[in-house]
Structure 1
Amino acid sequence: MKLLGWIFLIGVVTIFFWAACAVAFGRYTQTVKRLCRYTLRIFWLVSLGVLILRFGKGLGAISAMSDKFPWGVWIGLLQSGVALAAGGFVTAATVHIFHIRRFEVILRPMVLTAFLGYLFVAMTLFVEVGRPQRLWHPLVMWQHTSIMFEVAWCVTLYITVLMIEFSPVIFEHLDMPKVVKAIHYGAIPIVIVGVILSTLHQSSMGSMFLVMPEKIYPLWFSPLLPVFFLISAVAVGLCTAIIESFFSHKLFGRSLEIPLLQSLAAAAQIVLLVYFGLKMVDISMRKEWQSMWTVPWLGVSFGIELFGCVLLPIILFSIPAVRLHVRGLVFTSFLVGGGIILNRINVSWFSLIPYTHTTYFPTWMELCVSLFFVTLTVVAFGLAAHHLPVFPKAGGKIPPQTSSEPNLN
């Protein structure tokens, strides 16, 4: 049964990956589309069966987690979802607080992406928590000294803020201009609250691990973990905007402004450079470079994360051939996104293995649940894009590529 489950999951992932590549290279034919639809329906049926098993027989029926290793892959993926959704508050702050209006064309899609990303986090929590019926307890049973209390409140309030920020799209669709105008009047205070909340809980995702310095492998544990989590979230949020813009153009025929993507890439490059510099200084000051060889496989994972997914994108974003080619920007953005996911998994999973002396590997059903929620968010974005005014009304083709340097002014 386990073998069949893994074969099924690998097959589904392969088909979805093939479809994504077909979209990226303009080969998303009707045959590929039909195959995706049939695969998605079968996958959703299996996933619903897994969820029924989870809520019917508990976490142990579908998960490899144990008392020795209670934090599994879901924690890393949950934190990755929070980071990938950071593009919402970054774009909102850029447009409404810093008044850089040329980024307004991607504001609504990024707010929608952030909102769906946080729904992914909420759905994952509902499955991952042993007693989901008590998820509301932190909202009324306050524990002021607990970082989880702050995370619970910030995430809940920020989801509410995202709903308010996206609500003009719905009211505009319902032809309620007075309501839209009223919400726009309060846009700046709402965005400021959203930025504060997002900054707090993005950094708090790293603060969660400060309570176990002896358990996390030295390459990842640092008093600066909250800072690293926040800076990396900003970087990947900018890269998510590039990826979202590219696939929205391919799937929905929306305009793709390459100078805008170049500006996002240039900003991401600066943030990544700050992150990389702080990482290098932090490890050097703590004198932990030798830890790369103490446990070799963890050293390899750290090297891929820092040098392959942070330093390499910094270099690639500096190369004109990459910066002026949209697929080069998208590929580099995927590198950054993959690096952030690897970082969150390294911190919450791999780095704990030497201390626990426990071998944990997720079951196919754990990954099936996560992929199920990912596909739900992607389909929800597609439905919203088709039925709501998410994108600017003026369509258009890709403007001619320019050889000018990215402009951040």
Structure 2
Amino acid sequence: MRPRWTFRWTSTRRVLAVVAIVGGGFAALRMLYGLGATTNLSDRWPWGLWVWWDVLTGVALAGGGYSTALLVHFLGRHRWKPVERAAFLTSLIGYLLVCAGLFLDLGRWTNVWQIPLVWRLNAHSVMFELMWCVLGYTVVQIVEFGYIFIERARAPRLAKILSRIYAPVLIVGITLPLLHQSALGSLYLLAAGRLDPLWYSMLLPLFFLVSSFFVGPAMVTVESFLSARAHGRRPPVGVLAEMARLAGFLMLAYFCVKVVDLAWRGVLTRAVDGSTVSTLFLVEVGLGVLVPALLFLSPGLAHRPARLVTAAGLTVLGVALGRANVVFTGMAASAGGASYLPSLAEVGVTAGLVAAGVLAYLFVVENFPILPPAEPRVPATGARRPTVAPTPVRQGELVGTR
């Protein structure tokens, strides 16, 4: 008997579906009439909303999958497995949307078929390396999703094949993100003389890589709280607090290196000169890095879920603002007075991608074993909560399986 697929159509989901369809319509117009006719991009502002949100921010926020897999399978944090599947699903959907964003931002999209042709590769192109790594990692994640799919589809032959390639898939799945996360920062190393000194640094690839790692637990936390609320469950606060604490230490190190880098390059005073640029920089590293790091490291975080999710939200917003500062704030002075405001098509496509991603997440969660088993709630009478035996981990357990 084949499994039955379900999807509850609520009013919110209908609105998301309409937004996704409208976004698809704008995407079709872009493919037919080109970037010039549908966007407000120009020679002075060649990269805009799609590069900021759909690519730079999207790749960073989707980093929860590889960071969680690294912590669980290579650093032995097996007690964090309850959030691994949800982190992986968020990452997979995020990377699919990133691929769509990259495709839409290509000027000559009809030549995209040439990317896999190794004899035509440009070894000196950062964008070529980025495309290869992102596409390769997306394929790896689709293969990893097969481990979850076979639990629902019950395909023993496919399960046997996947079990044999588990180790190399896991290694490749950890390695590729390390390459393209830093490559995104390398793109802006090419903008020497254009990017503001507050952000232009030879450490920019490292900053992009590290921020993608510590925003992973934050994004997993936000996603876990939203998913738990939507499905009437309790988020695994204890596990999330442990992950957040590790992210907090990394964020403090990131903040310190950032300050030392500014001082070393002689632009530390520019960060406090009171200009709009310096204010946005201070908001990025202050409210987006330092404050949530201190909240993550505060005692008793596991018993303060509101503080945990607040700090996680600040971290996500901080990384998004950091990418926006690189794309917009840091490049504004070199634009020669030209301004940029996203067109209706740009906003519509971005909103459509986000809506499609949310709908895809909801569908998979409702039809596959993604979320951890629901914990019984404490009775209102104050009776003791029954002891729940932990879910046993099977020998040879694969990525994202439980």
- Structure 2 CA distance for partners of 1:395 and 1:34, relative to 1, 3 Å: closer
- Where in structure 2 are the equivalents of 1:328-343 lying within 5 Å? 328-343=307-322
- Contact residue 74 and residue 370 of structure 1 kept, 8 A: yes
Q: Deviations over 1:180-199 (max 9, x none)?
A: 35423432322111111110
Q: Deviations over 1:13-45 (max 9, x none)?
A: xxxxxxxxxxxxxxxxx9xx9542443344334
Tell me, in whole angstroms, the C-alpha distance in 1 between the residues paired with 2:180 and 2:369.
30
Q: Percent identity?
A: 33
- Contact residue 317 and residue 332 of structure 1 kept, 8 A: yes
Counterpart in the other structure of 1:100: 77
Tell me, in whole angstroms, the C-alpha distance in 2 between the residues paired with 1:92 and 1:184.
17
- Structure 2 CA distance for partners of 1:294 and 1:67, relative to 1, 3 Å: farther
Tell me, in whole angstroms, the C-alpha distance in 1 between the residues paired with 2:297 and 2:175.
31
- Helix, strand or coil: the match of 1:349? helix
The letter for the 1-side match of 2:291 is L
Among 87, 93, 114, the alignment partner of 1:116 is: 93
Among 50, 62, 81, the alignment partner of 1:85 is: 62
- Structure 2 CA distance for partners of 1:355 and 1:299, relative to 1, 3 Å: same
1:274: Cα distance to partner? 1.2
- Contact residue 126 and residue 187 of structure 2 kept, 8 A: yes
Counterpart in the other structure of 1:359: 339
Tell me, in whole angstroms, the C-alpha distance in 1 between the residues paired with 2:58 and 2:292.
20
* Structure with greater proportional helix content: 1
Tell me, in whole angstroms, the C-alpha distance in 2 between the residues paired with 1:291 and 1:80.
25
Please, which runs of 5 or more residues in structure 1 have no aligned partner? 1-29, 402-409
Counterpart in the other structure of 1:242: 221
1:383 aligned onto 2:363: yes
Among 357, 365, 368, the alignment partner of 2:348 is: 368
1:363: Cα distance to partner? 2.0
Q: Deviations over 1:303-354 (max 9, x none)?
A: 1101111011012223346552222211211110111111111112221110
- Structure 2 CA distance for partners of 1:218 and 1:91, relative to 1, 3 Å: same
Counterpart in the other structure of 1:39: 15
Please, which runs of 5 or more residues in structure 2 have no aligned partner? 1-7, 379-383, 386-402
- Contact residue 93 and residue 361 of structure 2 kept, 8 A: yes
The letter for the 2-side match of 1:395 is A
Counterpart in the other structure of 1:9: none
- Give aligned pairs, total: 369
Q: Deviations over 1:359-397 (max 9, x none)?
A: 1121233122111101111110100000112234x3224
Structure 1 stretches of 4+ with a deviation exceeding 6 A read: 398-401
RCO comparison, higher one (Cα < 8 Å, 6+): 2
What is the TM-score normalised by the length of structure 1? 0.85
Tell me, in whole angstroms, the C-alpha distance in 1 between the residues paired with 2:96 and 2:21.
20
What is the TM-score normalised by the length of structure 2? 0.86
- Structure 2 CA distance for partners of 1:382 and 1:363, relative to 1, 3 Å: same
Counterpart in the other structure of 1:11: none
